[in-house]
Structure formats: structure tokens, C-alpha cells
Amino acid sequence: MQDKLDDNNSRGGGKVRKDSYLLHNKIMSADGIIFKNTKTSKTKNKFSYRYYTMPNFYLPAGDVDNITRELIQNFLDSDMNMLPPEMKMAFKQISYTDKLIKHLVSKIIYRENLLTYFINIEDADYLKSFKGNYGINSKADKLKGAYLSEDKKHLIIDKPVVIQKGAALQNKYSGKGTNIITKTENATALIRAISIAWKYKKMYEAGITTDEIIKSEKIASRTVYKYINLAYLSPKIVNSIMDSNVPLNINLQKLFEIGSKYDTFEKQEKVFNGL
């Protein structure tokens, strides 16, 4: 099963096949506007960057697709205690494939920093064609952020996400210069940034000049200073990041801004916590 997921993920990135949109007509805004499929190309490297888009707003398709794959696999591996026994048994006999998404996910609503999935639990007939060869899935992990719709036809799962611009993350299947990442991935990126900041600070304090750091690390001068500023963040902010307790409005760009713009711990903490 994991091999299948890995195979799916390998096709999720910038260089894509034609028409490879996993969530075609599945994503909509809170106002009911359907996200359309679009693609931009970079001729030099022959890359195609896929997006789900509505007017003046883009979601990188590769990232959203992979978040969806992971969420559905987590659902299949969950205890499903909210479902009727017959539905639970039907779900526990199937294996994930991308084709399952078309039937399983009725819609996804995007709000700021949140993807809300509507999982079809009304009719199990379509699941017969997805029955796997591995018997019953015995995993019973607790499913977070899930609840039943009022009509009991859908299991609703909320997935917090963070929009991240720039090259903050490596090997993400994203649109050019933009990622949509999970809360956990965002915290990991910020922890990595803090560790880089401490590394540069120690190098600087050991007498290594910024020019030498720039040369050895192969980065721009402004990038060095942005990271070094993070080494002087409020200890409360650093502790929150290390504990993965990060507000959804804080991404790496916002953290760089806090480190460079605000010179007191009190001001930094207010901005970090949205006060």
C-alpha cells in the first residue's frame, strides 16, 4: 500500500503529465466558487507548474494533491468509530488508489489556512471495485479533526494548512515559488530555520566574517542576515516553535519579518501571536 502511495507521490510534482489533476472540480471557496485547473510552463527546464485557481488566488496542485492522498490514507488507517459498522467494514477492505478520490471525496472547501474535506459515507457500493488483496486493514489510529455532517451522509475532516512562499522547503511538489504545507511541515521548516540561524550566529561569533559565511554556505548576503536575525528572537517564540506550537498565520517569511523588523521581545511576541 505504501509503495502505491510513493508511486503516486512521485508523479505529484512540477514536471507533470497532461491532465494530471487529482482534484478536478473538487475544490471550492467558502463562497462556492469552484477552483479551476491551470498550468504555467517554464520553457528552459520544460517544467509545468500546476495550480487549482480562482480569481486572484492560486493553490499549488501538487501540494494539495499530496496532502489529500495522505489525509485519505490516514482515514483508511483510522478507527472509523463514527461510522456505521457496515460502512466501517467496507472501508477497511479497500486499498488506496488515486481513482478512489473521484468517488470518496465529494468536495473540499478552502478557507484561509484550512482545507475541509467531505468524505462520502452514504453509499458503499462504489467501494467494491477498490477492494484490496491484503484482507482487512487492522490499523485503528485516532482520526483528528473529524465529525459527521448533519445529514450523516459525509464524514467531514478539517486539515489546517499554511501558505508558504519562496524556497523555504526543499523537494516539495509545488507551484513555482509557492507551497501549501501542513501545520507540522510548517513547524519543521521553522525549526530548521532556527537551527540555521544559531549555526550562522556561532560562526560569526567565532570570528568568521559574513563574506566567508556567504562563500561557504553559497547563499546571498541578505539571506545570511535574515537568518542571523532569527538567532535573536524572543525565547518564548523559539520555545513555541520548538514545541511545534505555531500560529497558522506564521510562515518562514513572516518569521523573517519579525526577526528583522521588531527589536524588542514584547513586540515580537505580539506579532507572532497575532495580538
C-alpha dihedral sign at 253, 109, 28, 123: positive
| Cell reading at 149 | 455532517
Residues facing residue 161 across a β-bridge: 182
pLDDT of 49 above 90: no
pLDDT of 197 above 50: yes
Mark 186-200 as b/e (b = at least 16 C-beta within 10 Å).
bbbbbbebbebbeeb
SS3 117: strand
What is the phi-psi region of residue 39: left when phi exceeds 0, alpha when psi lies from -120 to 50, beta otherwise?
beta
Confidence band of 173 (pLDDT split at 50, 70, 90):
very low
Q: Are 162 and 182 in contact (CB under 8 A)?
A: yes
48 or 200: which carries more pLDDT confidence?
200
pLDDT of residue 126: 84
Residues facing residue 50 across a β-bridge: 39
Quick one: average pLDDT of 231-245?
93
Quick one: average pLDDT of 229-255?
92
76-126 tens-digit pLDDT: 999 999 998 989 999 999 989 999 999 999 999 999 889 999 999 987 788
Quick one: average pLDDT of 245-272?
92
Confidence band of 58 (pLDDT split at 50, 70, 90):
confident
Confidence band of 165 (pLDDT split at 50, 70, 90):
low
Closest CA to 109 of 122, 119, 98: 119
Distance CA 64, CA 4 (A): 18
Going by their DSSP bridges, the two strands 178-182 and 154-165 should be labelled as: antiparallel
pLDDT of 39 above 90: no
| Cell reading at 130 | 477498490
CA within 13 Å, CB half, 46: 2
Which amino acid, 50? R
Q: Are 240 and 246 in contact (CB under 8 A)?
A: yes
Helix (H) or strand (E) holding 86: helix 85-91
Distance CA 195, CA 193 (A): 5
Provide the residue ranges of all domains of the chain, joining segments of one domain with +.
2-164, 182-272
Instruction: Give the per-residue SS3 of 201-231.
Output: HHHHHCCCCHHHHHHHHCCCHHHHHHHHHHC
102-113 tens-digit pLDDT: 999 999 999 988
Q: Are 120 and 157 in contact (CB under 8 A)?
A: no
Confidence band of 217 (pLDDT split at 50, 70, 90):
confident
Q: Are 137 and 76 in contact (CB under 8 A)?
A: yes
**Residue the block writes with cell 530548521:** 192
Distance CA 181, CA 21 (A): 18
Closest CA to 98 of 27, 3, 16, 4: 4
215 or 48: which carries more pLDDT confidence?
215
User: pLDDT over 70 for what percent of the chain?
Assistant: 85
pLDDT of residue 175: 42
